[in-house]
Structure 1
Amino acid sequence: MPVEVIMPKLGMAMKEGTVSQWNKTEGEAVKKGDPIASISSEKIEMEIESPADGNVLKINVPEGKGVPPGTVICYIGNPDEEVAATAAQVQEEKGEEEIKAAHPAPLPKKPGKARVKISPVARKMAEAAGIKPEDIKGTGPGGRITKEDVEQAIASKKESRKQDSLIQAPAGKEPKHTPVSGMRKVIAERMHASLQSAAQLTITMKADVTELLALKTQVKETIAKRYDSKLTITDFIARAAILALENHPEMNSAFMDNTIVTYPEIHLGIATAVEKGLIVPVIRNAESKSLIDLAKEIKEKTAAARSGKLPADEMQGSTFTISSLGASGVEFFTPILNPPEAGILGVGVVSDEAVFIGDKIEKRSRLPLSLTFDHRVLDGAPAAAFLQTVKQYLEEPVTMLL
């Protein structure tokens, strides 16, 4: 009996999964444990392995199509086994027949008096090329469209398509066209929807983290011996953002259904780059965690995210997000809100700068901060006050330990 391969449920909130890519084709032999397809949900992508030895008898879900969890996406079995139609397929076919019966195809319209003069051979060529005779200029007697006219129209159409595809390609080479699917498609849709649905504004500021880096070095050995861990600048930034959110709860909000929803707990999202895109592990109830506990959880969840082992429900429900491009050498940038959150903090690269301290010039380490916020939830002044508080904690790092 054929074995069903179903779309798994990647987290409690998952409503639909998409087959990003099939690694096997119908009829191809597989062994138990072989990766047969890649699937993706809103925030995660993973491989589906064959549950048994055999052949791929039938693929039910094509690449790029989303289906609910529990849907049979293919069958594995012996080559001589037959696959019965699933109840969903039967219902779908029945539904299509009912639609056709209820809406019969309209009768063809009678041709009007005005007719295009075209030879039968030319008409057949135009139809095969998908060109309307009305769009072709005839050069024959009385404006009649000839075979040569159609050939010229086809050549013009091909040249037009070629020119459209050549976007300043070097040395006459055509650009590569990659269909957007899986996680990349989800990210594209979410980022576009974010910009379309929120009044986003970005403000910037620099924090002097000279003392912070000194403190980090000072406690390095103690943290390693006592907690078998280490603190990164990201850990301190996360702690500073959490404390600032407690002081400015309006930033820990969302705009939904013409209502500003302010959350009592802080669920901090840490944007993490993975091989095929970007995902956001969530540190729940971050306000209740010490700096050490926060650092450990950030490391564990980002590592699990990069290895593809983080459960989908641990990438949902954040109330504020931090995104860093410091490792890429970026200073200021414009982070895009993670809907429906009201704020996201962008972190750049630390650089040494000459700064006036009183009348003297000193070398100081400065950290660029970019805050994007939803102007529907709060205005520039309270957003600036929040960013100023983050800056203050980073410049007085001992206060984060008290």
Structure 2
Amino acid sequence: MAVVGEIFLERETANDEDGVVVAVHVDSGQAVKSGQPLFDVEHSKATMEVCASVDGFVLHELAKGTSVTFGSRIACVVDAIDAHGSAPPSPAGASQQAKAPLEAARISSGDKPSVGTAAASSSPAGGRRPKLSRAAAKLADQFGLTGADFMVDLVSTADVRKKIGAGRTSAQTLPGRREAAPPLTVEALSNVGLAERISPRKSEEISLLQTGAGNTTQSTLGVRIGKIRSRREAGDTFQGKILDLVVFEASRLMKQFPKLNSAFSENQIFKYSSINAGVAFDSGAKLVVYGIENSNAKSLREIREEIEDSLDRYLSDRLSLREMTRATFTVTDLSASQMEFVLPILPARQSCIIGVTRNSKEEFSTYVGFDHRVTEGREVALFLDQLADRIASFDRQTMATEPARCFFCETSAGDGLNDDKRGLLKIVRPGGDEVLCCNTCWLGW
């Protein structure tokens, strides 16, 4: 007897992780033909029909009302069955999947081993022979574990990591993995909201990221904002910078992108109930992140004043522990030096950090480092687009209430260079945006 076919629940919609069996057309152990309908599974968009892929005898544990996960193995087809409707004993050396063909129906998509890649472990007491996927077997071998150490019949890497974690000290880490931040608790952060358990699909994606070449779950995306006029007087803390504006606009956007104002812990996403923008300070001796409490409810002027005050207290080492641990996302300003790119690293218990840079053309860019376990690149790209548009829009509004100035040298129409009263030229830049140009800059070209 051998397994001749496996039946997986294929994904038909990106919106659903699970479906519900609404009809079972064939009992377990019954002979089936290739293409014969076996089950009907309903999801949010429609009802899908699951059919046999080969001729044989189907084995399953499904009933009407059973919840099934897309991507999981829900049944298998064998080439023989005994008179009692169950698979007969297999000869020595037969596939473990043939001995226990229904194991797959109890495995979620994030834990299922690859077909034909399992490696048998030593037999525990009672004759039970657990199977380990290749990845699980390799990891288990590094820690001296065998199949006898597990109480499940099909062992995944998650099972191995759980077993290792239960027996290791806090100083030990898994091969190729960084020690995770301590689990989030309500006592640790009072503004932690309700937890959202991640889906099986997301669990599988996280596993792939952690075992890939990069061995990381952080990604980074960036966007060029362009030139934003310096709205500061000489000697001002924010002269030539847009840190305050980024904090102001990003805080207001967080209500639309709550996953960027969240944290990942214990396979769950914790969404913060308040928005506290963190500002990174680093004088070269100590990097800290000061949290502006309820930053989304504060005006630009209030944010500027609080940043200036906290910077003074940071330099005199007077910030409290609570002020340095309450941020729910962070902004780090690197625009004091000219650079083209930054890869901002996420602080503990956050899923978003925004880096601000300025290149040689005096144009600003923003980069978002984000936790891929919490959100997706598409959502971060949308956030960046809206943030850049808000910053540019704010600058345009400010220009409308001030004297017209040259985009390149910021000379106003009333300055000495324009005493001939010719005013400013309106020109179109290569990107299509219209700007003002003084006579001196125009002739200088």
TM-score normalized with structure 2 length = 0.39
TM-score normalized with structure 1 length = 0.43
